Amino acid sequence: MRLLLIEDNVPLAEELLVRLKSEGYACDWLVDGRDALRAPQDESYDAAILDLGLPGRNGLSILAEWRAAALPLPVLILTARNSWSDRIAGLEAGADDYLGKPFHPDELILRLRALIRRSHGADTSPHLTSNGLSLDESRQCAVTAGGTIDLTGGEFALLRYLMLHPGRVLSKGRLADHLYNLDSERNSNVIEVHISHLRNKLGKEVIETRRGQGYIFHGCHD
């Protein structure tokens, strides 16, 4: 999953970037509201975290333009504490959720997980479940009838994306777009290696390789 963070409070943004990375999210960070307008059209984001008070352009007007352009990106807005008028204005402008500052990063993570799952029509039970396989996002491990299977950070991030798109052909380019931010070096061999490790850990039938096309997540059927 790749996120867009738009926040002009530098210490807060830096803290969030570290936390989001540890949760397996690739994240691009913008400070100026003007840069945020086109960003979701130019890059592949799965959700945005949008502060409302920003230099250049305020968050509400950014959100209103995104929605006017029919951009389906799930958006969580960050509002000033106790500002009910900001929250209402944000929801009216098309925000999917909001969090009042100051907030605990744990709450942001939980809300993001739920937001991203809802945007894919998945339920918000404690574990992400898709085609018979469960993923414990807090512990970053797969859960099967046979027990839990530990995953590396890279395997976890890839499996989460696959599980949210079951039965669909996902090209390596698309996977790279959603797993890496602008600053990372993209190497499609890394994705191949993670896929091969996931197949070894979970069973070959869980992920199908389509030569020249990409990968399809089938899950565990038994």
Give contact residues for Ca ion (rule: CB under 5 A): 8, 51, 53
Round to whole Å and give the CA distance between 91 and 21: 27
Q: Considering the complex, what minimum distance in angstroms separates the CB of residue 178 from Ca ion? A: 27
Considering the complex, state which of residue 53 and residue 203 has its C-beta at the smaller distance from Ca ion: 53
First to last CA, the chain: 28
* CA–CA separation, 41 and 59 (whole Å): 17
Q: How far is it, in rounded angstroms, from Cα 59 to Cα 37?
A: 10
101 vs 118 by CB, closer to Ca ion: 101
**The tokens of 166 are what?**
């079951």
CB 61 to Ca ion: min, Å: 14
Q: How many residues can be counted in the chain?
A: 222
CA atoms within 13 A on the CB side of 95: 25
- In this chain, which residue has its C-beta nearest to Ca ion? 53
Q: Name which of 8 and 35 has its Cβ closer to Ca ion.
A: 8
Nearer to Ca ion, 51 or 96 (CB): 51
**Minimum distance from residue 3 beta carbon to Ca ion (Å):** 17
The minimum distance between CB 55 and Ca ion, in angstroms, equals: 8
